[in-house]
Structure 1
Amino acid sequence: MSARENTALLVLEDGAVFRGRAWGARGRTLGELVFSTGMTGYQETLTDPSYHRQIVVMTAPHIGNTGMNDEDPESSKIWVAGYVVRDPARRASNWRSRRGLEEELIQQGIVGVAEVDTRAITRHIRTRGAMRAGIFSGDALPAGAEHLGDQVRDALVRIVVEQPRMAGAALAGEVSTAHTYILEPSGHFAGREPLVTVVAVDLGIKSRTPEHLAERGARVLVVPNTVSWAEIQALHPDGVFFSNGPGDPSSAEREIDLLRAVLDSGTPFFGICFGHQLLGRALGYGTYKLPFGHRGVNQPVKELATGKVEITSQNHGFAVDAPIGAPSTAPFEGGRYGRVEVTHVCLNDGVVEGLRAMDLPAFSVQYHPEAAAGPHDGEHLFDRFIQLMTTHKEGN
């Protein structure tokens, strides 16, 4: 194989270029360049719909050691736009492995680059912020790319900057289920009457999330993001859940209107990640884009009421702009939804990580409590949601 055939270039919109080895599928891919700090769980990362239209840099140096299995995917496909690693495993070694990571990337057409300095790339993003980028290999490499003169570099950068930015992107419709599907109570509750019925709005949901609810006795109806409030009402839910997902929360006007209908009805609500951001906007708070976001399975979050610190799994590039400290009145329509308190903050940078409506049965967290992949510290939030629904149900 010639040097050109083996070469891949990672090109950033600010003109930075990192040369590596072509890995995975060959060709061209474009997306927002972000980094994930998880040292494990690469299969869950790849199949997380929240990574749609993003090129993911793995900060852990060795990726692919355990191959790919049929049990851990969080959705039906790989969603990352591209994949950047330092040292891919030459051989997978795990009793559950069914195929190698590169084999899976090639099969699903995911363009990647290996043998690059991922530490340098991560430091670059941390300094200058997440930005648009592209990976070019195979036939997508222009003539002369092996020497990377100014003319070639400029041509590749132009391709990168012509793609749309993540700010303003409405992506939930591109990752949501097309049809409603149901999870019945499982585990200890299998075969029993459901304790509660939950309608989970799929904005990019991971499979482990409704499984957690089903394991706690809930009947879970996962519905498309296009669902109307009338359609949700017809399902007679005891609670409504909004999932994680990709895109800019400021662009999700239809989903925000749907969430306000949920709040107006007094139906218990729980949102995570993108769903948390949408609750913030529904209450009247703003959202903003973070410089490089929080992505990985080791993000420390403090619960303000107790001082307890949880290590959490996160994947988000936007955050809610709500006042931390004393409860505030939700700004929407002069306080229509009453008082709101910030319940959790990120210990790395002080970002809002949780909200609770004090006069409504609604709460949210910025992180992923389903622990796929990641620590189990936040799983108790599913118990809290079950308790909120059962208490509300008994009161009615």
Structure 2
Amino acid sequence: MKVLIVGSGGREHALAWACSRSGLSPQIYCAPGNGGTTRIAENVDIKADDLGDIVDFVRKETVDLTIVGPEAPLVNGLVDKLTARGYRVFGPSKSAAGIEGSKSFSKSLMQETGVPTAEYRTFTEFDEARRYILESGGNVVVKASGLAAGKGATVCINKEEAVLVAEAMLLKCKFGDASREIVIEKCLKGSEMSLMAFSDGEDYLLLPPSRDHKRAYDNDEGPNTGGMGAYSPLDEFKPDEIAHTAESVFPPVLKRLAELGAPYHGLLYAGLMLTPDGPRVLEFNCRFGDPETQAQLPIMIEDPLEIMLAVSENRLGAWMAEHNCASNDWMKLGGDRHAVTVVAAASGYPAGYVKGMKIENLPEDTDGVIIFHAGTS
């Protein structure tokens, strides 16, 4: 079996690592991969956003399953290009990936389906956004509606900061086309939780819950990043509490997407805030979390590649029945195992930082420690 993993981050290294341990014994390619994936896969010199070259590679090598890691190729329609040619892919279509590609669409979807979320408004004009911020008191989160590599949301401490952030996005195009439209929502207080589920458009299967930490510095300080660490599972919640939360989020969203002609195939990620008034969905992502995946896959008992293959063939329900696993039986996937991921980043990240530095003295992997690479060569 040939498997192609698209992407170059720690998430993709973790996916390659999990596939390398599969009972299906796949031959693994990574496009483009990184310095760590070379040990378990063949890196291919194709960037994740070179959709045409990826399609050509899949055709040339007769790849059996393509697993798309990053959100950008998903939002740009890589899955559509591959499925139109009859190839199996793990990942949502362009229309379904809009759940991450447009925060405006995502918020309206939550509103339609009754999924609890923060009060919000969307804006394309700065003057209107400024007026709303001043009237709201400034205790808001300002988000670029489009893709911004996980860095498009700013939690504002006052209305002056919120106005400046909105101005940078709408007038100064801080995130290019991604911030031509912004979402301003009420700032929620509480602890965060990441819930991710495999889905083939009809059934879903919950992964062990996780929590990531986005601030760059210790003590939850500094700018937001793509993620500085994560752990899984969350012991402060009982399994039935997790199941109840998942049941209030995934079924209505999956049902509505199917009604819109965009059935969701792949990994659906719900980022939640656990408030005193109950869980609230902050955002949806159309792919595995990063760095949560690096903590989730190592604790999985079942074979992730088998599950992703079942999703790509629209038989997730059959796989679940065969393994006596209900939608929210995440403990059957992870058991009583625990894992934590700590990200080591170059000085200055997430702003300008030095590139090309040599990384030395990395330890060898053991049963308890795994080194996943992101962006290395």
- Normalising by the residue count of structure 1, what TM-score does the alignment of the two structures yield? 0.26
Relative to its length, the structure with more helix (as a share) is: 2
State the structure with more CA Rg. 1
- Structure number with greater CO (CA < 8 Å, separation at least 6) is 2
Relative to its length, the structure with more strand (as a share) is: 1
